[in-house]
Amino acid sequence: MARLYESRKRILVTGGAGFLGSHLIDRLIDQGHEVLCVDNLFTGTKRNVDHLHDEPRFEFMRHDVTQPLVVEVDEIYNLACPASPIHYQHDPVQTTKTSVHGAINMLGLAKRLKCKIFQASTSEVYGDPNVHPQPEEYWGNVNPIGPRSCYDEGKRCAETLFFDYHRQHALEIKVARIFNTYGPRMHHADGRVVSNFIVQALQGQDITIYGDGSQTRSFCFASDLIEGFLRLMATGTDVTGPVNLGNPGEFTMLELAETVIELTGSKSKLTFMDLPADDPKQRRPDISKAKELLDWTPTIELKEGLTNTIAYFERRLPEIMGR
């Protein structure tokens, strides 16, 4: 027990009541750390961390990262930002502020505390890529004035800030570029393809496919991604990132829809709608750096992860349907 206490850290997780943030907090608590969860609950929900209510090493603070935060911690994971198009396009100015002002505030806190800080960046920094799969060296193909720009360019600017703080103030940074991730605790109405398909299939509704369904994505299960977070954060000062974290398995939207129908036993049909503006046609990570630097590779196959996620949404279906 003494050894555990000596290694215990007080860790700040912004966006901690969100899908990924809550899974990260679970792992940090399991490792024996104290966790301060900061979230404004715009897309996060207390339901994701309710199971930690009686955990003495867990603390929740409702706070918006666009405002300064004065706390004392040993490490920071900055995950605060709506990540689905429906949510980040709802208030695009606030989305940009969350990425940019939030990064400035968290970097300023890390500078004062002289502590390590992690940035949850995104594969969206690559835009609609002309290079496939996407390595970290690719600078991207991003529309700076489109409807997705508030998120794409906000995250790109946050990366800029992280590396400038690293160069100018010798701040220890870790930057992960997250590719499509799924699993329990996803928001049922966030417009992401996995949650959309599962909820529609469970309700026997038509499954909505945008475009002709030939566009591809790579899907990483939440537990695999969080393992990547922890391994990146544990690296030495010589590793800053950015490091791609995602599953290199690539599936079309049609393949995903057919798999969800198979696993749910649904009689749902497919319906097709116009592709949204600037929606990437291909997305698959080159994870060579993650393998080399972190000894990390995903272990959960798509069908296994979907089965787990479907079971979560089945339990929540009466609540989702308002019964």
Q: Which residues are catalytic?
A: 151
- The rounded distance, in Å, linking the Cα atoms of 69 and 60 is 14
- The rounded distance, in Å, linking the Cα atoms of 238 and 289 is 13
Cis peptide bond N-terminal to 248, omega within 30: no
Nearest to 124 by CA among 190, 45, 217: 217
- The rounded distance, in Å, linking the Cα atoms of 102 and 108 is 10
Are the C-beta atoms of 84 and 143 separated by less than 8 Å?
no
Are the C-beta atoms of 220 and 20 separated by less than 8 Å?
no
Are the C-beta atoms of 119 and 162 separated by less than 8 Å?
yes
Specify the residue for token string 């996060």.
Answer: 44
Cis peptide bond N-terminal to 242, omega within 30: yes
Two tokens at 137? 């060296």
Give ∠ CA 23-172-15 in degrees, rounded to 5: 30
Q: E strands within 99-168?
A: 116-122
User: What is the identity of the amino acid at 22?
Assistant: S
Task: List b or e across 272-307, with b for residues whose CB sees 16 or more CB atoms inside 10 angstroms.
Answer: eeeeeebebebbbbbbebbeebbebebebebeebbe
Are the C-beta atoms of 12 and 38 separated by less than 8 Å?
yes
Nearest to 277 by CA among 150, 178, 167: 150
